[in-house]
Each structure stands twice: as C-alpha cells, then as structure tokens.
Amino acid sequence: MKNISSLAALLAVSLVGLPGVANAQDKAACFDDKAPLTVEEQRLDDTLAPGGPAVGPELVSRAGFDDDVRRFTSRLCRAPSLKQAQVLAEQGGNDLWRAAVRRAQGKEQQHDRFDDRPLYWARLQITKALRQWTHQIDGGERAALIQRFDWASRGLSDVRFPQQQARRILVTGFDPFQLNGPTVRRSNPAGAAALQLDGREIDTPQGKVVIQTAVLPVLWGGFDEGIVEQFYGNGLKQKPDAFVTVSQGRPGRFDIERWAARWRGGFPDNNDLRSVGTTPNAAGWPQPALEFIETTLPQQKMIDAKTTPYPVQFNLSFCEWPAAPGAGNPSCRADQPTPGAFAQSGGGGNYLSNESMYRANRVRVGMGATNVLGGHLHTPVLGQPADPAAITDPAFELERRNIANQVVALVSAV
C-alpha cells in the first residue's frame, strides 16, 4: 500500500502529464538519446528483415502496451524531482505488470494472450527512458530508480495471498533469452506460464490452490542484486506451502529437477555478460553454504497427475568436483553428491535456471522454512515461427499455449 504522501506525489505527476510527449523539442529536453544503453535495450531496434518493423516495439504495439509506455514517458518527462520519479517508477511498474496479467488471463484480449514477449519489450522501452532521462541524478540514484521500476514490473510488489483457507504457492518464470540476431523473436513459456498463474485460485481434488508469481531476468547482475531472495524471502512472510521455480529446459519433455548446485558455469546472459564461480550471497538474507540442495517437491504426485501433452520426468543427474571448485574434470552421476565434494552443476545445469532453484531454496532453508516444499520445473523448449521473417504463427502459438497450460496443471498438483 502506498502512503498518502506517495499518492499525492503521483497525482502531482499525473496532473501535469499529457497523453504523449508534447513535441520533439520537449522530448529532446527530457531524454538524452546519446546516453549509453544496456545490450538488452539496444535490441529494441532489431528487425527480422531489412526495412521490417523492429520486433520489440511491434510486439508492444500488438499487445496494446504502447499507450502505457507513452503515458509513462510523458509523466517522467514532467516529473520535477527524483522523489516523484520514484513514485512514478513504482506505480508504473505495478501498472505494467497488472496489465500483462490481465491480458494473459483473458481480461483484456489483444494479440495472443499467451505471449510473454510484450511485457519484456515494454519493460525495456521504459528502462531505456529512465536511463536516458536528463534530470540531474547520480549513477547510484539512477540505478535504484531503474531497479524500482524493473522489480515492480516483474510482479515483486504484487504478492498478496487472500485470507481464505487455501494452499499457497509461489512461482517464478523467466524472460525470453538468447535474443541475438534472428532469434530476437524468442519467447519463454516459463514467463508465459507465470502470467497465466498470477493471482489465480484453482480448485483441485485436494482443495483450493492460490498462486502468486513473478518473472525473473536472465541477468547475472539481477541475481547478484538479490531479486530471487527478494521475491521468495518476502513471500515467506505470507506463509506459503510451496515454491516452484520454472524455466525452459530440454526439447519435448518436462523435468522436475532433483538437485540445485552452488555454481555458475558462465553462459552469457541477456546483456552478453558471463559469470563463473560459486553462487554469491545476496545481502540481507540468511544463506547457508550448501553445495547442493535437493528438491522437496512431491515429484511422484506431479508425475502421477498425468498432465498432457508432454511427458514429465524426475531428473536425478548432477555433477561435482571432488577436490576443489573448478579443479579438474567433474564427476557426473545420478545418485547422491559425495560429502565434502563441490558442486559443478545441478540437474538443470549451472545457468540461471539452476541458480533460481538454488537461491530460492537456500533462503527457504536459511529462514528455517523446512516445512515449505521447494524445487524446480523445466519446461520443454519452445520453437520459433517457421518463417524466419515472421514474429508469430499459429503452430508457435499453440506450442507455447500447450506448454504454459501444462505448467499450470503441474503447479496445481504440487
């Protein structure tokens, strides 16, 4: 809940805002188009064919989010202070998240409601504006302002379980990734599923299940800032029954991962940055130094739910270094980690999907919530539209819808 002064500040920004930036001169005064952008933000200009539309803005427009972006940019242009920009960033992030959830759940039908990409690209359009905003603030203030918007637009400020008796489950998906060149049109069914699930109350044979979700960035730096702990650690205060981190995994099947590992393998993130080494701690949270964390999800119950159309497996694999982290060749098996050995990868590898499972369950264990179930679900890999110059097609949309709907069914079975 916002306090009275915050609401008043937002109202002040809104009263002076217009539906769009008044003219090019105003825009030039508000935003420095020479300010450096992240690699992710630079992809806003990427097209699938020479002379074709930029993919990100086109998806934003098809989903009807371009008005949200213009409204935010106009209000930011007229924000007289950092304090009011902070209020705007928080509220704008929440508004974008809720609009994406409403569209995904069929409450505002525009474009394919299972498409997670418009939220991703609209968020980048707004972080680009915040990065280029010419108001005189220092680098730390700007980074905090961008983070405030980013976290709100991912669902982190919107976790509220109802008071009624129901099982409570926290779930995270991920942004699209591997977006270089023609793959800029990629989607992530884990993010699509998170939008389908947020706030849902689902009747199951065991009773009602209520789910709250967020969508994580594919960024090592975002994980270093503690975004996973922020969502799941704060979520623990609302006494959930289970955690499920979800990401895209292997072709043609779902995997419930047995092990999460305390190691980063260095695959590049959405800013083309790499990170190798032991998973860092996030400031402010209890985090025991566990090399591996085993799932406590009811994997057999999830498999026995016989969800379709993809097979569901319990993946037992992991890899460890016997002597020291990064030393020699890892030993990969499907039994139990050796006491005293060092983690090299969990069943889900050593990228950010593995780290989401590790961080969520490390903070769960660190906070003593051992009665809360926790683990990771890998979805099948989602393909791309058959025409290399197409943003979407019916087969692509059906595949994403099938994967997302099966995630909903599997999470409901937890």
Q: Let me know if residue 54 belongs to a domain.
A: yes
Inform me whether the pLDDT recorded for 6 exceeds 60. Answer: no
Are the C-beta atoms of residues 223 and 352 closer than 8 Å to each other? yes
- Give the end of a domain, one of 92, 124, 153: 153
Do both 275 and 301 map to the same domain? yes
Q: Which of 125, 334, 371, 154 is nearest to 242 (CA)?
A: 371
Determine, yes or no, domain membership for 160.
no
Under DSSP, is residue 412 helix (H, G, I), strand (E, B) or coil?
helix
pLDDT bucket at 308, cuts 50 / 70 / 90: very high
Q: Which of 96, 126, 153 is the C-terminal boundary of a domain?
A: 153
Query: Given a cut of 60, is residue 152 above it in pLDDT?
Result: yes
Q: Which residue has the tokens 């780290």?
A: 355
Q: Residue 255 belongs to what domain range?
A: 167-412
4 has pLDDT over 60:
no
- Whether 158 is in a domain gets the answer no
222 and 330 in a common domain? yes
- Statement to judge: residues 139 and 211 lie in one domain: no
Specify if 188 maps to a domain: yes
Write out the two tokens for 396: 């692509």
237 lies in some domain? yes
**Which of 131, 153, 175 marks a domain boundary?**
153
CATH number of the domain encompassing residue 216: 3.40.630.20
- Could you tell me if residue 12 is inside a domain? yes
**Type of residue numbered 392:** T
- For the cut 60, the answer to whether the pLDDT of residue 54 exceeds it is yes
Q: Which stretch of 154-163, 218-227, 255-264 has the lowest confidence by average pLDDT?
A: 154-163
Q: Are residues 306 and 403 in the same domain?
A: yes
CA diameter of the chain: 66
Q: For residues 27 and 66, state if they share a domain.
A: yes
For residue 210, being part of any structural domain is answered with yes
The answer to whether the CB of 195 falls within 8 A of the CB of 104 is: yes
Split into its structural domains, the chain has a count of 2
Structure tokens at 271: 């800013």
| Contact call for residues 30 and 76 (beta carbons, < 8 A) | yes
Q: Is the whole-model pTM more than 0.95?
A: no
Is residue 161 in some structural domain?
A: no
- What kind and span of H or E run contains 96? helix 82-104
